[in-house]
Amino acid sequence: MTPPKPVPRADRVSLWGYLRAFRRDILSAQPARLYRAWMAEFRTPFFQSYLCNDPALVRRVLDETPEAFPKSPRVTAGLAPLLGRSVFVTNGAEWLHQRRIIDPAFEGGRLRQVFPAIWAAAEAAVARMAEGEVEIEPAASHAAADVIFRTLFSMPIEDQMAQAVYHAFQTYQRSAPILNLAAFLPLPRWMPHFHRRDTLRSAAEIRGLITRLTAERARAIAAGTAPDDLATKIMTTPDPLTGQCFATAEMVDQVAIFFLAGHETSASALGWALYLLATHPKAQDRVAAEGAGLEPSFAALAKLRFTRDVLREALRLYPPVPMLVRESLGAQDFRGRKVRKGAQIVISPWHLHRHERIWANPDGFDPDRWTAPETREAARDGYLPFSRGPRVCPGAGFAMLEGTLLLAHLVRAFRFEALPDRGPVPVAHLTVRAKDGIRLRVKQR
């Protein structure tokens, strides 16, 4: 069974028709030719945009000269009420300062330290899972949020404060569009960016709760009673160049993106992985067999090779962040086309991961492809679920550990079955989710 993808629009449509479709869902708004083209140009009265699938261009933008292509404010402006000046939206010296503090918290050795917390969250996810017909996305969201709370602030999601933050995030996700008016119009920074009232209200509530958590942790650090978790590590790590640590307000911005990125993207990947296994029962049985008898030891992860490849394949077919948008700081030449200063450069994991000239059987679910030698070239040229280059997600290893463990625990405890005529349709909200949810039948093994 071929996993579902949105039906792409016709290759030709009016500008305003495209903008209306783009506003509803950026995936189905894209023309079919983008799954085979190396580059496409899109012009509006306000800006030029270039979608780049050519592996050489992707390397140029993300790996070789990233300083010439900073994050585009057109996209990040929509998230400003929640994320402030977090590492997700900043550029230049400010971004480098933030990464020098954040990156050490996610180095390889830290994964071993957070393993017990992720294991406990996975066991809790199994205990919460209902049987019968289940809406999977809320369950996956709950599990991913639990991982964030346990690893960042050493509290399970059952904690009252954790519950308050989690529910506020659920409200925010329902109200926040993936793009607002600032993505299409050249609005100056001082001008109101037309955020919805409920989006502003839920963002303010989240930031207020995070401020309380951060202030409490700062007091515990000062008293010498803080647990050795990710929050403590980040708050006590000075920038090696300046010697400065994050102030409370700066830490609030970073915690907001940890919750949004770490929770929302992991939930998306887990939900789609469970759906793919429900529609491919032989692969599901292999995951269950790998997880049988798994012990709470970091070394045991080496046993979960196929489970990890299932997660990789889910991230390929349904990358949580479908598009990365950069802005050209100067004139460029892309494949013989003159790209003006200020042009929007779009790198689309969604199209790269399904590109007909990069991948064999691009729309098919095949976890075994990850052990084939020819996949190395395809993965190098067309696989970036966590971005790439200097701006690669610092929590990529964390996310793979989390997703693999959650998947192994849930599948060894339950059998997931697809419901006839209830195939999910992927759409892009804050991440790639199912338009009407993912409903599966769940049975205890």
Beta-bridge partner residues of 326: 71, 345
Residue 262: what pLDDT?
81
- Cβ distance 393 to 399 under 8 Å? yes
Superfamily of domain 15-444: Cytochrome P450 (1.10.630.10)
- Cβ distance 1 to 280 under 8 Å? yes
Q: How far apart are CA 53 and CA 4, in angstroms?
A: 22
Q: How many Cβ atoms sit within 10 Å of the Cβ of residue 327?
A: 19
Percentage of the chain lying above the pLDDT 90 cut: 69
Residues 6 or more apart whose Cβ sits within 8 Å of residue 24: none
Q: How far apart are CA 265 and CA 275, in angstroms?
A: 16
Least confident range of 3-17, 95-109, 276-290 = 3-17
- Cβ distance 149 to 252 under 8 Å? no
Least confident range of 94-98, 143-147, 216-220, 426-430 = 426-430
Token output for 9: 């629009």
Length of the chain: 445
| pLDDT band for position 180 (cuts 50, 70, 90) | very low
Q: How many Cβ atoms sit within 10 Å of the Cβ of residue 371?
A: 10
Beta-bridge partner residues of 444: 414
Encode pLDDT of 210-244 as tens digits.
Answer: 999 999 999 999 999 999 999 999 999 999 999 99
Q: How many Cβ atoms sit within 10 Å of the Cβ of residue 79?
A: 24
Q: Which amino acid is at 152?
A: L
Q: Which amino acid is at 67?
A: E
Token output for 271: 């939900």
Least confident range of 94-103, 175-184, 226-235, 383-392 = 175-184
| pLDDT band for position 191 (cuts 50, 70, 90) | very low
> Best-predicted range by mean pLDDT among 47-56, 84-93, 291-300, 408-417?
408-417
Q: How far apart are CA 355 and CA 115, in angstroms?
A: 35
Encode pLDDT of 15-58 as tens digits.
Answer: 555 555 555 667 777 788 999 999 999 876 667 889 999 999 99
- Cβ distance 325 to 345 under 8 Å? yes
Q: How far apart are CA 344 and CA 241, in angstroms?
A: 32
For helices 248-278 and 396-413, the axis angle rounded to 10 degrees is 40
